[in-house]
Each structure stands twice: as C-alpha cells, then as structure tokens.
Structure 1
Amino acid sequence: MHISEGVLSAPVLLAGGGVSLLGTWVGLRRLDYDHLITAATLASAFFVGSLVHVPLGPSSVHLLLNGLLGMILGWAAFPCILVALLLQALLFQFGGITVLGVNTMNVAVPALLCRFLLAGHVRAGGRRAAVAGFLGGAGAVLGTALMAALSVAFTDEGFADAARLIVVAHVPVMLIEGFVTMFAVGALARTHPTILGLGDGFRPAASKEVTPC
C-alpha cells in the first residue's frame, strides 16, 4: 500500500529506509541472475496489481500479491518491490520518493516472514502447499496493513483512527489474495515444484546423496 508524502515523521522514514536498503542489498546478493525473468515477471504482476487503488486517508487500499512474491523470491522480493514502487511513484505519483523506504519495508518484510514461516509446508506439496499458500497470501497482506498502520500511528497519535481503518479495510484484500496465492502455489507445486523448493533467492536446495557403504 502507498503511504503518501508528507505524512510520516523523520524517525519512521529513516527506519524504513534503513530496513529497505539492507533488505535490497541482501536480495540482490542472493538473486540468481539466471532467473531474472521470473523475478521481473513477478515484479510486473505486483506493479500492475497495485496500480488499481482506492485512497484511504494517508494511505490506500489495493491488491498487493506480496505473499506470492515472498513465497517464490525470498529475499529477492525486496529489490523487486522497491523497483515497482519507485516506478509507481515516478510515473503515477503513488506514494512518493521520501516514503519509498517505508512503503517497501511495509510490503516486503511481511512477504519475507511468510516465506520463512511457511516454506517447509510449501515444499511438502499437495494440500499442505495450498493451505500454506492461502496463509502466506492473506498473512502478507495482514502484515503489510499492520505495519502501515504502525507507521502512521508512530508518527502522530491523531492518526490512530486512520491506522485502525487501514487494517479493517484490508480484510477483503486478505481473503482475495489468500485464495489467489493458494491456487498459484498449488498449481506450481504440481507443475513446477522446483520454484517452490528453492532456498533464499533462487538457489535450489541441495539434494541428499546416498553414499554406498
């Protein structure tokens, strides 16, 4: 979601910028450049999905797809989300440059946490992967809404009502993205499981070799 320019305090802006800078650095180092097309495709999906937004006080409501990005990209979700948000700020004036770090942090951190918490269930495939996909899609949106609400709440106590409204307004988005991610993860688990079995970035998990006695 896009928090507008001129809303957040300097400490919140600096904290968001620092987290996003660190996450982007780690993401670029762990990204396998043989899979840039996959990363670019997901970044494009995030870019397009979040273009259709409804203004809501100091923020806005729109599709995110950050749970799907987190499930597949891991740390690489940071640079993908950063680039998409930067282009939206420059081309469409969504969000802004000074709040770019906070907006990136609010979207990418929950996506990465869902990856860490649910990766094992996704790799298991079958029904577990589908359920994990739903939880990842819905959980990432919930995490983003909570972080955006905290960002504005820490800036000014007068934004408390707006912060609560941000969370409540994203409940329908949570359900929609939960089902979208569930079907996407379920399909990938059946047709292209290597994507869901990747380690951080795009490094496949090492297979176990049986050593003869």
Structure 2
Amino acid sequence: MHISEGVLSTPVLITGGAVAFAGTAVGLKKLNYDKIMSVSLLTATFFVASLIHVPLGPGSVHLIMGGLMGLLLGWSCFPAILVALFLQTVFFQFGGLTVLGVNTTIMALPALLCYYLFRPWLKNNGNKRKIAAFGCGFLSILLSSILQAVALTITDSGFWHAAQLVIAAHIPVMFIEGIITMFTISFLAKVQPEFLQISKQEE
C-alpha cells in the first residue's frame, strides 16, 4: 500500500502531509510513558509485516495490521506508523520521503476510525469481541485501499483503472487481516487482558 514517489500531485501530497502531521501531533500528545512499550512493539510488528509486499502498479499489496494498531493504540497509531514508514523509506526505499505523509494518512486514518467504531466492543466477551476484532481488521484495509484509490484518482483520472485494481487486490488481505486481528485480540483477552485495558471482572 506504499505509493511511490513521483506519482501523486502536489495538492494530494500537501493534504496527506497535513493530516499526518496533525494526527501525529495529537498521537504524541496522548502518548503516556506506560504506553511506550506497546507502541514500540506494534511499530515493529507493522515494520516487519509490511516489508513483505507485492508491487502493484504505482503501489503495493502487503499486510498492515492497521486494525490491530488502531484497537490497541488509538491516536498513537499515527506516530507509530509514521516511524515505521520512515525507517522503511530510509533502509529499503519503500514509498519515499515526499509521499511519507500521504502513506501515513492512508494507513493510520482508517486505523483510528476503527478504534472509535470497534474499541467499545472489546469489553464484550465471546463472539461479539471476535466479530468486532475481525471487522476492525477487515474495515481498516478496505478504507485504506479506498483512500489510496482516491489519492491516485484525484491526482490523475488516468489512474482510475489502477485504483480499481488496488481495491480488488486488497480483498484477500482484508480477510487475512480480519482473521489475524480476531485471533490476536482473543488471545490477548485471555492471557493479558490488561494489555487491552480490560479488567478481570469484565472477563
């Protein structure tokens, strides 16, 4: 889902950069000392997962773990994703510095939206929690692929077919991320509920 340099128009780059800057500023402001380890762990998870990518036209297809990061980090997913993308740009030339803001927005904004949509469901035990976790993983990829398609289409209508391909290619990833998020949240709820900020009484 990395968009390469030299593809997007200046207005899209500026807009994506502004959203990423604002989201990162809020995320850092809300980040407290007790959460640093969680942010670091999930940043590393994102970094490794998204290294395995398949080039697709002006972008690429790979795991993101956006839903999981959104559920566990909230606003802190912005600085976490920004740092991981920056390191990938520096060490592996994925994406680029000029598109860093747009790529961060494409992946972090849906994760944050899923946080507000599905986080309250984590307190529900059993199938409701599993459905919420799966929905979060699925929806985060769906929204990210749509944002990527919109960024490409706004830049040039000639990217319309590539934008459609981007969404279609991410359909399998949506299900994979949904399943991974569901099993991860279910596992954490059983062995370390405090990681989800779920009290034992709620279990």
> Is TM > 0.5 for Structure 1 vs Structure 2?
yes
**Cα distance in structure 1, aligned partners of 2:196 and 2:167:** 29
Give, in angstroms, the shift of residue 125 of structure 1: 2.7
**Cα distance in structure 2, aligned partners of 1:58 and 1:181:** 27
For residue 201 of structure 1, what is the aligned residue in structure 2? none
For 1:42, give the aligned amino acid. L
When the two chains are superposed, the root-mean-square deviation of aligned CA atoms in Å is: 1.2
Q: Residues 59-208 of structure 1: matches in 2 within 5 Å? A: 59-197=59-197
- Partner SS state of residue 61, structure 1: strand
Give, in angstroms, the shift of residue 194 of structure 1: 2.7
Query: Percentage identity across aligned positions?
Result: 51
1:101-134, CA deviations, whole angstroms, 9 ceiling, x for partnerless residues?
0000000000000110011111223221111110
- Partner SS state of residue 176, structure 1: helix
Give, in angstroms, the shift of residue 35 of structure 1: 2.4
Uncovered stretches (5+) of structure 1, i.e. residues with no partner: 199-206, 208-213
Single out whichever of 117-126 and 177-186 deviates more from structure 2. Answer: 117-126
**Cα distance in structure 2, aligned partners of 1:144 and 1:33:** 29
Retained in 2: the 8 A contact 1:152–1:163?
Answer: yes
Retained in 2: the 8 A contact 1:129–1:189?
Answer: no
**Cα distance in structure 1, aligned partners of 2:18 and 2:129:** 33
**Cα distance in structure 2, aligned partners of 1:100 and 1:165:** 22
TM-score by length of 1: 0.91
**Cα distance in structure 2, aligned partners of 1:71 and 1:121:** 10
For 1:31, give the aligned amino acid. L
- Partner SS state of residue 55, structure 1: strand
TM-score by length of 2: 0.95
Q: 4+ residue runs of structure 1 moved beyond 6 angstroms?
A: none
Uncovered stretches (5+) of structure 2, i.e. residues with no partner: none
Retained in 2: the 8 A contact 1:149–1:166?
Answer: yes
Look at both structures and tell me which one has the larger radius of gyration over its CA atoms: 1
1:162-195, CA deviations, whole angstroms, 9 ceiling, x for partnerless residues?
0000000000101111000000111122222233
Give, in angstroms, the shift of residue 13 of structure 1: 0.3
Give, in angstroms, the shift of residue 73 of structure 1: 0.2
